Chains A and B, each alone.
Chain A
Amino acid sequence: MRLVILDDYDLASEWAAKYIRNRIVQFKPTADRYFTLGLPTGSTPLGCYRKLIEYHKNGDLSFKYVKTFNMDEYVGLPRDHPESYHSYMWNNFFKHIDIEPQNTHILDGNASDLQAECAAFEQQITAAGGIELFVGGIGPDGHIAFNEPGSSLVSRTRVKTLAKDTIVANARFFGNDLSKVPTMTLTVGVGTVMDAREVMILITGAHKAFALYKAIEEGVNHMWTVSAFQQHPRTIFVCDEDATLELRVKTVKYFKARMH
């Protein structure tokens, strides 16, 4: 793996956004060869999205030939609910850039047949030629997407019930009322993300430090599903100083040295 450590959240967001921008620009996508991008939600990637929007508005980055696949969506939440991931993506990203609506893919948590919806999503990824770069985050319980502790490390897109940790972490988006947080989601599987040609995980903040430690300094374990990426050929972990607080000094020094 590559572990990229920046001083603070803003610098980490900027580094990640620049990386995405450079990958898309160097790929030179066209109508016959789209750049496929996997995308996360949550508070961690907000800074990264803001920078990407800035690069777009500067004229440095176009999303005309980019296809996006989001990681997850709540089940049963109305699509226009302010906390749905459709709303998140529209307000924080899509409405500010030039991406075409038919090139965006987000799981439909209100589909009448949820399993068919998940299977169709996998097919859409395959039809698009697979994911070039999957951007993700990590939960405080070490999950990638909504692959909660105990998820199979070779899982595919499916329905998942949320763990208590995740529900508590999400309560702040629902007025701190636990009863209002959805309990089920549709999520890409660990295996789905592992299929991507490159994976970039954003991890910022001291509250994620323990999860990062478990993900990269301990073994591959289905209780900390991000650890699966130890077995991926091209993974980058982008973090700020606070997220490294639980790592060994040796690990941090090694990777920091590689930054210069």
Chain B
Amino acid sequence: MPSNKSVSDAPITQFVSCRILKDHRLQWEDLWVREGKILNPEKLFFDEEGFADHKVDCGNKIIAPGFIDVQINGGYGIDFSQASGDIRRGVAQVAKKILEHGVTSFCPTLVTSPPDIYHKVQSVHLSLPFISIHLEGPFISEQKRGAHPPKFLRTFKAGGVADLMETYGHLDNVALVTLAPELANSAAAIRELSGRGIVVSLGHSMADLSQAEEAVQNGAIFITHLFNAMLPFHHRDPGIVGLLTSDRIPPGRMVYYGMIADGIHTHPAALRIAHRAHPAGLVLVTDAVTAMGLPPGQHSLGQQQIDIQGLHAYVAGTTTLSGSIATMDMCVRHFREVSGCTVEAALEAASLHPAQLLGVSNRKGTLEFGTDADFIVLDDTLTVRETYIAGQQVWRK
């Protein structure tokens, strides 16, 4: 058939025999892609009188938006917080490997580090598509520091904003900052960060619920790995966990919460409680460390040594967990299995919800017309078989 498309001559690919995640349901629909974006076939038909140039048979598999990991410290031997060698190459290496887990966008996470590390990482221009940084620390609680090195923790001495700039250098490439709101003068910092469109996340904190609620009123909208590195839920002071059902969240705003669903960091019953209390806010994260993807043994994370045993990663010589080595697709499968949620909900917890958290759901995390064609093909066991970025296949099993 002659090409008579009026908007563009770029080739159109039609993915057929597939179930796509759209409007929160898996539907038997074809997926159309042109120039790296999801195309509206009805508009193509009536407006341009156009048709597909290539058809790809997906063998009745599932197509979902690519996963987005907002907390990942490294992997495959790369440690984002080490900032040694070629930073851009390190990030690119991890970006390439995690395509196998269905992750098409992520936030390289820097744990508590000295200012020169932040300045060094920030000075590198990360030009890779949609990859911006998660700064986890150093403005966190000493008692809840987890694996973060105590000597680099900081407080807001100068009054918030000045401390941020002195520590981080600049904030151009930053998507999220995790901090402990109970630190004095944190309110100004929270307001400054959220005013710049940076997601403020509460974590590694001893805050009680009212301190957490005040932080939310100042602009915080995320909780870093719920349950871990915070006060446990108590029925008279629910702590940060209480944000999931707080009635003091400003109207129109939603609090999201990260969950490491690796079967180790969170007991399945706790995962279920959180999910049932506030399903729309659940964001799956891996919090993966350098050793993810590597064989068992000793590796480095930030300024510390880590010990890998099976699926567990400990601070060497202790029983303190130091991030997980689960992959995002494992987390999605585990979450679905222990929560009994639908396939759609499990997939959205790793795609739509992180995109909504980051305020980019108009171009990522969905298969809506006009959004970026970053998607994955999975089978019914939710194993990733193919990964596409901007409509191009970048990995296949």
Chain A residues within CB distance 8 Å of chain B: 79-80, 86-87, 90-91, 94-95, 100-102, 106
Q: Which B residues are in CB contact (< 8 Å) with A102?
A: 4, 49
- B49 and chain A: residue at smallest CB distance: A101
CA distance A90 to B48 in the complex (A): 14
Q: Confirm or deny: B125 has a beta carbon within 8 angstroms of a beta carbon on chain A.
A: no
Q: Which B residues are in CB contact (< 8 Å) with A101?
A: 45-46, 48-51
Q: Which A residues are in CB contact (< 8 Å) with B49?
A: 100-102
CA distance A94 to B42 in the complex (A): 9
Q: Is the CB of A86 within 8 A of B1?
A: no
**Contact status of A79 and B46, CB under 8 A, knowing A100-B1, A102-B4:** yes
Q: List 16 A-B contacts (CB under 8 A).
A: A80-B40, A80-B43, A87-B42, A90-B42, A90-B45, A90-B46, A91-B42, A95-B41, A95-B45, A100-B49, A101-B46, A101-B48, A101-B49, A101-B51, A102-B4, A106-B46
CA distance A100 to B49 in the complex (A): 8
CA distance A86 to B41 in the complex (A): 12
CA distance A106 to B42 in the complex (A): 13
Q: Which A residues are in CB contact (< 8 Å) with B50?
A: 101
0/1 interface trace, chain B 39-65, chain A, CB 8 Å (1 if under): 011110110111100000000000000
Q: Is the CB of A86 within 8 A of B4?
A: no
- A110 → chain B closest CB, angstroms: 12
CA distance A95 to B41 in the complex (A): 8
- B72 → chain A closest CB, angstroms: 38
Main secondary structure, interface of A, reads helix
- A111 → chain B closest CB, angstroms: 13
CA distance A94 to B45 in the complex (A): 9
Q: Is the CB of B51 within 8 A of A100?
A: yes
Given contacts A80-B40, A100-B51, A101-B51, 9 further A-B contacts (CB under 8 A): A79-B46, A86-B46, A90-B42, A90-B45, A94-B45, A95-B30, A101-B45, A101-B48, A102-B4
- A5 → chain B closest CB, angstroms: 34
CA distance A17 to B32 in the complex (A): 29
- B39 → chain A closest CB, angstroms: 13
Which residues in chain B, 80-108, are within 8 Å of chain A measured between CB atoms?
none
Q: Which B residues are in CB contact (< 8 Å) with A87?
A: 42
CA distance A94 to B44 in the complex (A): 12
- A131 → chain B closest CB, angstroms: 21
Contact partner of A95 among B1, B4, B42, CB < 8 A? B42
Q: Which B residues are in CB contact (< 8 Å) with A90?
A: 41-42, 45-46
Q: Which B residues are in CB contact (< 8 Å) with A100?
A: 1, 49, 51
CA distance A83 to B51 in the complex (A): 23
- B4 and chain A: residue at smallest CB distance: A102
CA distance A197 to B167 in the complex (A): 82
CA distance A102 to B42 in the complex (A): 13
CA distance A90 to B40 in the complex (A): 12
Which residues in chain B, 269-301, are within 8 Å of chain A measured between CB atoms?
none
- A64 → chain B closest CB, angstroms: 9
0/1 interface trace, chain B 1-13, chain A, CB 8 Å (1 if under): 1001000000000
- A100 and chain B: residue at smallest CB distance: B1
- B41 → chain A closest CB, angstroms: 7
Q: Which A residues are in CB contact (< 8 Å) with B51?
A: 100-101
CA distance A94 to B50 in the complex (A): 13
CA distance A107 to B48 in the complex (A): 16
- B40 and chain A: residue at smallest CB distance: A80
Pairs of residues from A and B, 7 with the lowest C-beta to C-beta distance, nearest first: A101-B49, A90-B42, A101-B45, A102-B49, A86-B46, A90-B45, A94-B45
Q: Which A residues are in CB contact (< 8 Å) with B4?
A: 102
CA distance A94 to B51 in the complex (A): 12
Q: Which A residues are in CB contact (< 8 Å) with B48?
A: 101
CA distance A152 to B43 in the complex (A): 35
CA distance A106 to B47 in the complex (A): 12
Q: Which A residues are in CB contact (< 8 Å) with B41?
A: 90, 95
- A217 → chain B closest CB, angstroms: 41
- B3 → chain A closest CB, angstroms: 12
- A101 and chain B: residue at smallest CB distance: B49
- B301 → chain A closest CB, angstroms: 50
CA distance A91 to B41 in the complex (A): 10
CA distance A91 to B45 in the complex (A): 12
